[in-house]
């Protein structure tokens, strides 16, 4: 599998062979990835695939047991001040201090970031409809996410790090978050790294993409390349198949009886040959959606 | 400019933008010389990556559908596209093949397909006149 | 499951199975001892106290079985399991099931003790405590359910209930010495117990009913009023100049105001009225002054335990990601905590001294104080006494600050076991200190000889500890900013010399004791532990 340019000067985040265990469970297993400057990098994977763990390594909240983590060409554990000052972070459940008022949260956060744009923050606060006198803990889930997004974004971070920002939020808040992603990347040189379950969102906004599966990187690269590497085939077998057929160079993910859907990976010539060997003919072929690729890897079987 | 993006089928998003702009131009919903939105604005409205929009615009520019004016924006071309007739026909040939395959599956005769194409063309013109 | 009530009972049985086995085990063991023992009088003499203790323990376990509460996710609420509210069962059933079951269980356990353990030993047990215990468990459940949102108030209410019921349980003893006829006392006791039980059941039912269907007004309204009052107070509107000042504000709001507020509450709600009531009593003056002076130390010993954690009110030892991703160094985070501790101590100390000054000059009976002053004047010149008092006033806050800040390295490490260990050490130290002081006070003169005799060895020990401290300090401060280290070292020397100066002024008549105390002065102010705190916080931030 091809990775995007591994030159660390160009990479905002560079993970090299990162391994992490929690007890006996290996959560990250030799993960290497590079996030190019100015890209929107989407990370997908099932629950428990290690997405949050990976993001916590980028933040330096977790120490890599094996391998190296470089953020802005620095070690986030050894120089937290320099790296964290350039990162905006929004987690799935923003653990904002509930006792603060919205205006206090803004003032408090402002003190940590020299590049904080007070006018921009105030604009966003008004746009999000956050009452300055309201306490964080009395805000709804969506409003808390907006407050978290606000303080993650108001210092115009070079790297915006979003850990499943959309889960459990209504479509309007999700849209606010995606717009923030787009605004961030439209400003020259700024980078977004985000994980999500919502593949449609990822497909819309990201240009680079990686998938974690059981702590390992299933694939990683520019979205176009990933999509070009995979083809969606519908196969028709001579006889009804009771179990998903195993074919070289393909992942079978759904089907019934004689017709089966298959995502071919790698070489294009491989699948027709193996299909013919298995006694099946290709009925249809098209470009797959990200969702189909995801399901083929996460839930499917095959090589 | 009304564009609808769907990420559920496999069609790349930039391709969806290209196709829909072409369609809007063909049906006259976009007038020649009309300005189309800047990349960033369209990216924010459609909630797609600005690079994707940029790529679609580049594709449209190459196909001669739109022209970029230095420092002012992107406009729908007034002049007919500079593509040679042969290339145009080549681009259409694939679509025609697909149409014929589908017609063959559905057991529709060639004459009926040609009639259908003429009918659709007529309805496009009435839309354009409005 | 045949009926909802059975399902509820089954759930309680499942939750309390382990505790129930514990109770059963204890009773069985004691009953076997009682039945199998050949020499009953011997067992009674030797093991009766143990039996009573185990009976109390088994009662605690039984109460534990009926601690029928669950935390509501995401809220500061810990009461009747809210998921049951969605069941198609009336509130009466929901409340009655655990209550009736608990009443039965308590009576059965008590009966088992009376019949199986104490009866074979020839000891008859009164029925009165059984009634008190029954009412007790009803009140217990009523309190834990109805005060679900007020966890601290709930602990106080439970303690109050325990005190009241303990007094009621002691009624047979009181009846013996009472001036009223025995029968009247018991009748009054029974009636009040019955009334208490009815109130408890009714309160529980009303509270759960309201929690189930929403009362509209409740905790939210009170908090809303408090929040509005807090908003009306003058607040900071300017931006913070530096990240450190913002962090100081954060830590002060979270952990700094607690100790001064506790001190103010104790001083003005307890000390002030009590001291006013006893203003004529000359004995009360020394007691009041002593307790008021001890108050800051007691507070920092208790509040300090919560303060050293990343978040005062939370049992979570790990630092929250929100704090962990502040782009400031761990050293700055620790410094902010240290400064907040200092500010908190200063505020408490000012309150205490202010109260003491007002008390002594306005309504205290100063007779005993004068006696004390004359007594001390026999040994020290007035100048020495004044100097010692001044130094003591300056050094006491340092000692108090030490109790808050010295444990920061443990509290911020994120290591729960280390923290529990430190608390146990602190408690053990406190017990040892009190016990040791009592022992030493009684046998002071006889043991002073021994201290003097072993002064050399003790001094060596202290010297070794001091050397260890300096070595550890040199190691732990090596990675921190030079300027910060220099500043703290300056303060450290100042405080340490202050303590040494106090020892010099105290001037114990035995030179070896003086040397020992002077050496001790070097150990009081933390140095190595302060240096360790950032490294341990780093462990917590980057796990």
The answer to whether residue C541 neighbours chain A at the CB level (below 8 Å) is yes
Nearest to B9 among A40, A179, A289 (CB): A289
Read off the pLDDT of residues C241-276 as tens digits, 9 standing for 90 and up.
888 999 999 999 888 888 999 899 888 888 888 888
Q: Do chains C and B touch (3 or more CB pairs under 8 A)?
A: no
- In terms of pLDDT, which residue wins out, A157 or C225? A157
The answer to whether residue C76 neighbours chain A at the CB level (below 8 Å) is no
For residue B72, the model assigns a pLDDT of 75
For residue C246, the model assigns a pLDDT of 92
Mean pLDDT of chain B: 81
Probe site for chain C from A80, A117, A121 (most C CB atoms < 10 A): A80
The answer to whether residue C245 neighbours chain A at the CB level (below 8 Å) is yes
Dihedral, C236, C240, C243, C244 alpha carbons, nearest 10: -60
Question: Given a cut of 60, is residue C158 above it in pLDDT?
Answer: yes
Q: What are phi and psi of C12, to 5 degrees?
A: -65, -40
Question: Given a cut of 50, is residue A302 above it in pLDDT?
Answer: no
The answer to whether residue B43 neighbours chain A at the CB level (below 8 Å) is yes
Question: Given a cut of 60, is residue A4 above it in pLDDT?
Answer: no
**Taking a C-beta distance cutoff of 8 angstroms, is the pair A202, A210 a contact?**
no
For residue A5, the model assigns a pLDDT of 44
Q: Copy the structure tokens of residue A38.
A: 């100015």
Mean pLDDT of chain A: 83
**Taking a C-beta distance cutoff of 8 angstroms, is the pair A226, A219 a contact?**
yes
- In terms of pLDDT, which residue wins out, C137 or C528? C137
Highest mean pLDDT among C133-147, C303-317, C508-522: C133-147
β-strands A40-45, A191-195: how paired? parallel
Inter-chain CB proximity C321 and A61 less than 8 Å? yes
| Placement of tokens 């007779």 in the chain | C367
Shortest Cα distance, chain B CAs vs residue A99, angstroms? 34
CA B18 from chain centre, in angstroms, equals 5
For residue C301, the model assigns a pLDDT of 84
| Confidence bin at A1 (pLDDT 50/70/90) | very low
Least confident of A111-115, A144-148, B3-7: B3-7
Per-residue burial over A259-287, b = 16 or more CB atoms within 10 Å of its CB, e = otherwise: bbbbbbbeeeebbbebbeebebebeeeee
The answer to whether residue B126 neighbours chain A at the CB level (below 8 Å) is no
Residues of A in contact with C245 (CB under 8 A): 111
Report the chain B residue with the minimal C-alpha distance to residue A181: B49
pLDDT over 90, % of chain A: 18
Least confident of A220-234, A260-274, C363-377, C389-403: A260-274
Q: What are phi and psi of C74, to 5 degrees?
A: 80, 0
| Confidence bin at B94 (pLDDT 50/70/90) | confident
Q: If you average pLDDT over residues B80-104, what whole number do you get?
A: 75
| pTM for the full predicted model | 0.75
For residue A229, the model assigns a pLDDT of 82
Nearest to C542 among A61, A107, A112 (CB): A61
- The CA distance from A237 to C249, in Å, is 70
Three-state SS for A237? strand
Three-state SS string over B47-108 comes to CCCHHHHHHHHHHHHHCCCEEEECCCEEEECCCCCCCCHHHHHHHHHHHHHHHHHHHHHCCC
Residues of A in contact with C247 (CB under 8 A): 111
The answer to whether residue A87 neighbours chain C at the CB level (below 8 Å) is yes
Inter-chain CB proximity A80 and C250 less than 8 Å? no
The answer to whether residue B7 neighbours chain A at the CB level (below 8 Å) is yes
Shortest Cα distance, chain A CAs vs residue B11, angstroms? 7
* Residue A167: CB atoms within 10 Å: 15
Nearest to C327 among A62, A81, A108 (CB): A81
- The CA distance from A29 to C513, in Å, is 62
Inter-chain CB proximity C543 and A62 less than 8 Å? yes
Residues of A in contact with C254 (CB under 8 A): 97, 99
| Placement of tokens 């007529």 in the chain | B122
Q: If you average pLDDT over residues C492-511, what whole number do you get?
A: 84
> Comparing C-alpha atoms, which of A101, A95, A183, A184 is closest to residue A141?
A95
- The CA distance from C201 to C173, in Å, is 28
| Confidence bin at C73 (pLDDT 50/70/90) | low
**Taking a C-beta distance cutoff of 8 angstroms, is the pair A64, A14 a contact?**
no
Read off the pLDDT of residues A83-135 as tens digits, 9 standing for 90 and up.
999 999 998 877 888 888 899 999 999 999 988 999 999 999 998 899 988 88
Inter-chain CB proximity A204 and B50 less than 8 Å? no
Mean pLDDT of chain C: 84
Chains that touch C (3 or more CB pairs under 8 A): A
Q: Which B positions 49-78 lie with beta carbon below 8 A of chain A?
A: 49-52
The dihedral region occupied by A257, where left means phi > 0, alpha psi between -120 and 50, and beta the remainder, is: left
Shortest Cα distance, chain C CAs vs residue A298, angstroms? 29
A&C contacts, CB < 8 Å: 74
For residue C442, the model assigns a pLDDT of 61
Residues of B in contact with A40 (CB under 8 A): 49
Residues of A in contact with B51 (CB under 8 A): 185, 207
A&B contacts, CB < 8 Å: 54
Nearest to A112 among C227, C236, C327 (CB): C327
Tell me the β-bridge partners of A53. Answer: none
Shortest Cα distance, chain A CAs vs residue B122, angstroms? 31
The answer to whether residue C37 neighbours chain A at the CB level (below 8 Å) is no
For residue C1, the model assigns a pLDDT of 45
Report the chain A residue with the minimal C-alpha distance to residue C313: A99
Residues of B in contact with A203 (CB under 8 A): 7, 13
First to last CA, chain C: 47
The answer to whether residue A293 neighbours chain B at the CB level (below 8 Å) is no
**Taking a C-beta distance cutoff of 8 angstroms, is the pair C530, C488 a contact?**
yes
Inter-chain CB proximity C325 and A59 less than 8 Å? yes
Shortest Cα distance, chain C CAs vs residue A83, angstroms? 8
The answer to whether residue C74 neighbours chain A at the CB level (below 8 Å) is no
Q: Which A positions 232-291 lie with beta carbon below 8 A of chain B?
A: 232, 286-291
For residue C6, the model assigns a pLDDT of 84
β-strands A25-36, A11-22: how paired? antiparallel
Q: Do chains A and C touch (3 or more CB pairs under 8 A)?
A: yes
Inter-chain CB proximity C239 and A135 less than 8 Å? no
Q: Do chains B and A touch (3 or more CB pairs under 8 A)?
A: yes
| Confidence bin at C448 (pLDDT 50/70/90) | low
Question: Given a cut of 50, is residue C52 above it in pLDDT?
Answer: yes
Q: If you average pLDDT over residues C439-465, what whole number do you get?
A: 73
- The CA distance from A184 to A174, in Å, is 15
pLDDT over 70, % of chain A: 93
Tell me the β-bridge partners of A237. Answer: A280
Residues of A in contact with B48 (CB under 8 A): 182, 204-205
For residue A89, the model assigns a pLDDT of 92
pLDDT over 70, % of chain C: 93
Q: What angle do CA C100, C101, C105 make, to 5 degrees?
A: 120
Q: Judge residue B108's burial from the number of C-beta atoms within 10 Å of its C-beta, 0-12 exposed, 13-18 middle, 19 or more buried.
A: middle
- The CA distance from A263 to A228, in Å, is 12
- The CA distance from A17 to C275, in Å, is 70
Q: What are phi and psi of A191, to 5 degrees?
A: -125, 145
Question: Given a cut of 80, is residue C234 above it in pLDDT?
Answer: no
ipTM for the whole complex: 0.84
Chains that touch A (3 or more CB pairs under 8 A): B, C
Is the four-CA dihedral C448, C451, C453, C459 of positive or negative sign? negative
Inter-chain CB proximity A61 and C320 less than 8 Å? no
Question: Given a cut of 70, is residue C311 above it in pLDDT?
Answer: yes
Least confident of B86-90, C348-352, C423-427, C502-506: B86-90
Q: If you average pLDDT over residues A5-18, what whole number do you get?
A: 74
**Taking a C-beta distance cutoff of 8 angstroms, is the pair B76, B66 a contact?**
yes
Question: Given a cut of 50, is residue A290 above it in pLDDT?
Answer: yes
Nearest to A97 among C242, C322, C329 (CB): C322
**Taking a C-beta distance cutoff of 8 angstroms, is the pair C169, C227 a contact?**
no
For residue A169, the model assigns a pLDDT of 84
Read off the pLDDT of residues C188-229 as tens digits, 9 standing for 90 and up.
888 888 999 999 999 999 888 888 877 545 556 676 777 777
Question: Given a cut of 90, is residue C173 above it in pLDDT?
Answer: no
Per-residue burial over B111-123, b = 16 or more CB atoms within 10 Å of its CB, e = otherwise: eebeeeeeeeeee
For residue A13, the model assigns a pLDDT of 92
């Amino acid at each position: 599998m091809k990775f995007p340019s591994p030159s660390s000067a160009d990479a905002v985040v560079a993970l090299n062979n990162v391994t992490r265990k929690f007890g006996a469970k290996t959560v990250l297993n030799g993960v290497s990835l590079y996030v190019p400057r100015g890209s929107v990098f989407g990370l997908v994977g099932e629950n428990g695939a290690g997405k949050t763990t990976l993001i916590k390594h980028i933040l330096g909240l977790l120490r890599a047991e094996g391998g190296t983590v470089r953020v802005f060409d620095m070690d986030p554990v050894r120089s937290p001040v320099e790296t964290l000052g350039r990162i905006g972070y929004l987690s799935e459940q923003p653990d904002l201090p509930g006792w603060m008022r919205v205006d206090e949260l803004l003032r408090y956060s402002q003190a940590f970031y020299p590049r904080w744009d007070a006018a921009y923050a105030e604009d966003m606060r008004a746009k999000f409809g956050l009452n300055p006198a309201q306490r964080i803990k009395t805000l709804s889930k969506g409003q808390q996410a907006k407050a978290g997004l606000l303080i993650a974004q108001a210092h115009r971070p070079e790297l915006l790090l979003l850990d499943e920002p959309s889960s459990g939020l209504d479509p309007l808040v999700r849209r606010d978050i995606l717009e923030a992603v787009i605004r961030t990347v439209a400003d020259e040189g700024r980078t977004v790294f985000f994980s999500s379950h919502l593949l449609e969102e990822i497909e819309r906004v990201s240009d680079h993409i990686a998938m974690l599966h059981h702590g390992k990187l299933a694939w990683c690269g520019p979205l176009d390349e990933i999509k070009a590497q995979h083809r969606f085939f519908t196969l028709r077998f001579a006889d009804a198949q009771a179990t998903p057929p195993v074919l070289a160079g393909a992942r079978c993910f759904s089907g019934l009886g004689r017709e089966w859907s298959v995502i071919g990976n790698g070489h294009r010539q491989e699948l027709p040959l193996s299909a013919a060997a298995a006694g099946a003919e290709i009925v249809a072929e098209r470009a797959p959606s990200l969702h189909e690729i995801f399901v083929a890897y996460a839930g499917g079987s095959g090589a | 400019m009304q564009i609808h993006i769907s990420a559920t089928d496999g069609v790349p998003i930039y391709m969806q933008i290209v196709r829909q702009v072409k369609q809007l131009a063909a049906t006259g919903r976009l007038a020649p010389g009309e300005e189309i939105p800047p990349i960033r604005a369209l990216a924010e409205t459609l909630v797609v990556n600005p690079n994707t929009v940029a790529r679609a615009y580049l594709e449209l520019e190459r196909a001669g559908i739109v022209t970029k004016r230095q420092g002012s924006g992107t406009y729908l071309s007034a002049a007919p596209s500079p593509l040679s007739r042969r290339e145009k026909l080549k681009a259409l040939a694939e679509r025609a093949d697909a149409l014929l395959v589908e017609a063959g599956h559905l057991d529709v005769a060639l004459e009926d397909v040609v009639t259908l194409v003429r009918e659709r063309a007529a309805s496009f013109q009435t839309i354009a006149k409005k | 499951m045949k009926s909802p009530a059975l399902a509820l009972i089954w759930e309680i049985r499942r939750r309390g199975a382990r505790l129930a086995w514990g109770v059963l085990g204890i009773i069985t063991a004691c009953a076997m001892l009682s039945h199998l023992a050949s020499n009953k009088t011997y067992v009674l003499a030797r093991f009766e106290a143990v039996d009573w203790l185990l009976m109390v323990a088994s009662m605690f376990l039984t109460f534990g079985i009926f601690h029928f509460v669950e935390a509501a996710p995401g809220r500061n609420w810990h009461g009747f399991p809210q998921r049951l509210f969605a069941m198609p069962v009336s509130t009466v059933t929901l409340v009655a099931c655990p209550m009736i079951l608990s009443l039965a269980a308590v009576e059965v356990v008590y009966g088992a003790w009376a019949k199986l353990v104490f009866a074979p030993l020839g000891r008859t047990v009164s029925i009165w405590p059984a009634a008190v215990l029954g009412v007790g468990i009803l009140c217990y459940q009523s309190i834990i359910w109805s005060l679900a949102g007020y966890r601290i108030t709930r602990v106080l209410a439970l303690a109050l209930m325990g005190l009241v019921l303990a007094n009621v349980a002691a009624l047979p003893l009181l009846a013996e010495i009472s001036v009223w006829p025995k029968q009247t006392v018991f009748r009054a006791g029974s009636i009040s117990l019955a009334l208490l039980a009815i109130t408890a059941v009714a309160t529980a039912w009303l509270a759960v009913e309201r929690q189930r269907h929403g009362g509209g007004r409740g905790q939210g309204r009170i908090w809303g009023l408090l929040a509005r009052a807090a908003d009306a107070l003058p607040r900071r509107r300017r931006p913070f100049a530096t990240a450190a000042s913002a962090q100081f504000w954060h830590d002060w709001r979270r952990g700094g105001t607690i100790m001064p507020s506790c001190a103010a509450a104790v001083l003005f709600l307890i000390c002030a009225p009590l001291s006013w009531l006893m203003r004529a009593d000359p004995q009360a003056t020394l007691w009041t002054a002593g307790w008021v002076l001890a108050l800051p130390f007691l507070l920092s010993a208790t509040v300090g335990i919560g303060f050293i954690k990343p978040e005062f009110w939370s049992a979570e030892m790990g630092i929250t990601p929100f704090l962990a991703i502040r782009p400031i160094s761990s050293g700055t985070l620790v410094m902010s905590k240290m400064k907040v501790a200092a500010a908190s101590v200063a505020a408490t100390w000012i309150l205490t001294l202010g109260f003491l000054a007002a008390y002594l000059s306005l309504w205290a009976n100063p007779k005993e104080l004068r006696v004390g002053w004359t007594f001390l004047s026999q040994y020290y010149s007035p100048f020495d006494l004044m100097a010692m008092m001044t130094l003591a006033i300056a050094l006491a806050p340092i000692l108090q600050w030490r109790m808050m800040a010295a444990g920061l390295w443990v509290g911020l490490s994120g290591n729960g076991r280390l923290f529990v260990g430190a608390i146990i050490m602190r408690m053990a130290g406190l017990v040892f200190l009190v016990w040791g002081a009592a022992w030493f006070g009684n046998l002071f003169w006889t043991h002073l000889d021994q201290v003097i005799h072993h002064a050399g060895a003790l001094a060596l020990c202290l010297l070794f500890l001091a050397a260890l401290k300096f070595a550890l300090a040199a190691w732990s401060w090596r990675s921190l900013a030079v300027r910060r280290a220099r500043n703290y070292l300056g303060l450290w020397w100042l405080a340490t010399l202050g303590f040494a100066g106090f020892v010099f002024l105290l001037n114990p008549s035995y030179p070896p004791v003086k040397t020992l105390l002077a050496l001790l002065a070097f150990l009081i102010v933390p140095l190595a532990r302060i240096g360790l705190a950032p490294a341990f916080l780093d462990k917590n931030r980057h796990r």
